[in-house]
Amino acid sequence: MTTMLRQADPAAQTVPGPGGTVPEAPSRLPRIAGAVAALAVLAVPLYSSPYWVQTFTATAIYAAVALGVSLLLGRVGMVSLCQFALLAVGAWIALRIGYGLDLPFLLVVLLAGLLTGLVGVLVGLPALRLSGLYLALITLMAAAGVTVVLAATQFPNGGDGVLGFSNTAAGTSQLARPSFATSDGAFYVLTLLIVGALFGLVVWQLRGKAGRAWAAIRQSEATAVAAGVSVVRYKLWAFALAAFITGAAGALLAASGGGVTTYQFPTENNILLLAACLMGGVYGLWGSVVAAVFVKVVPALLQVWGIPSDVLLIAFGVGVIQTVLVSPQGAAAQLGHDLSRLARRLSRGGAR
């Protein structure tokens, strides 16, 4: 017991906590290297084919969706299996507003986010009473409900009426892009900027009062309450924020190449999305980017290489198992660890 008496050693700061849920504070070098590499990668499609521009646009959009899943699961401890459905809701709302009112594009994105946020609060209501498997099931049912309704209503395509869809309408279900970003390349850059802003919004919330309240709720709701936190309010706020960024992403998706069709939103994709987020890692921000790469870039590569995409399902299954067993923090954190280990090794080698 004498070890408990010694003054706390500040160098022990990076010791991971019990259960491995406390992420190690990564050292600067891999972070900067990662950022530079990321920027380089982001620029690649601009110099290659339209196929890759569209794939990367979709990847950026899905990174925002994955961020919503990770926010709920990694930061607050709530499983939501309807985030992919909320993406469809966001796209629907954006199209409806886009065809119905003559508003600037950014305003449409904002409104789609806000209205989807409201839907997210409704979906979050059961979360106040249910958790774990029950919450997962309820949200999956909500997702299935969205799929069914969507199949009946279709995405607005410029038709008349409340639903804005007509079989004879000339328009497609694609949201008009702003005049300054009509080309795929420009729209890709715009998407990056908006998704970057959504990430910024989440980071800002995580670093503040909400982030502290969520951390408390995730560890112990009783503790959060005893600190004066309104658990109801902060759980709903998490759902609202996750739905907001997902809805805004939906607007971007509606404006991306070819627009949207109802076939793009099968219910099971909600589960695949969760699997991808778990593989990428739900405790950090990069994990969401990695998840989006799993969901968009990997299938695109498979298509280029002529490998059937069913392989992906199996790979996801194996990937989740490997994540759970080997690196519960997910691929992004694992990569961070590996990089910092590499950096340490290199710097040690250089010193010799």
Partner 1 sequence: MTEVRIEGLTVRYGGVVPLDGVDLTIDGGAWGLIGPNGAGKTTFFNVLSGFARPAEGRITVDGEDLLSMRPHARARWGLRRTFQTEQAIRELTVADNVRLGYEHGRRGGAGEAVAAALDFVGLADQPHRLVGSLDMRGRRLVELARAVVGSPRLVLLDEPAAGLPDQESEELGALIRAVPERLGATVLLVDHDMALVSACCEKLAVLDFGRLVATGPTAEVLQDPLVLAAYLGTTEEVA
Binding site for partner 1 (CB under 8 A): 1-5, 8, 10, 12-18, 21-23, 25, 209, 212-213, 215-216, 219-220, 222-223, 225-231
How many angstroms separate the CA atoms of 247 and 269, rounded?
Answer: 16
CB of 327 to partner 1, least distance (A): 18
End-to-end C-alpha distance for the chain, whole angstroms: 39
Rg (CA), the chain: 21
At residue 322, the 3 state secondary structure works out as helix
Closer residue to partner 1 (CB): 209 or 345 = 209
CB of 215 to partner 1, least distance (A): 5
Closer residue to partner 1 (CB): 18 or 308 = 18
CB of 220 to partner 1, least distance (A): 5
**CB-based contact 144:267 (threshold 8 Å):** yes
CB of 2 to partner 1, least distance (A): 8
CA distances from 140 to 134, 136, 261, 267, 332 (A): 10, 6, 20, 8, 26
Burial 238-259 (b: 16+ CB within 10 A, else e): bbbbbbbbbbbbbbbbbbbbeb
Closer residue to partner 1 (CB): 12 or 314 = 12
CB of 140 to partner 1, least distance (A): 28
Closer residue to partner 1 (CB): 230 or 303 = 230
In the numeric block, which tokens belong to residue 104? 């600037």
CB of 17 to partner 1, least distance (A): 3
Closer residue to partner 1 (CB): 78 or 143 = 78
CA distances from 319 to 88, 122, 200 (A): 26, 32, 29
Give the residue among 65, 165, 197, 77 at the shortest CA–CA distance from 120. Answer: 65
Backbone angles phi, psi at 309, to 5 degrees: -75, -10
Closer residue to partner 1 (CB): 4 or 133 = 4
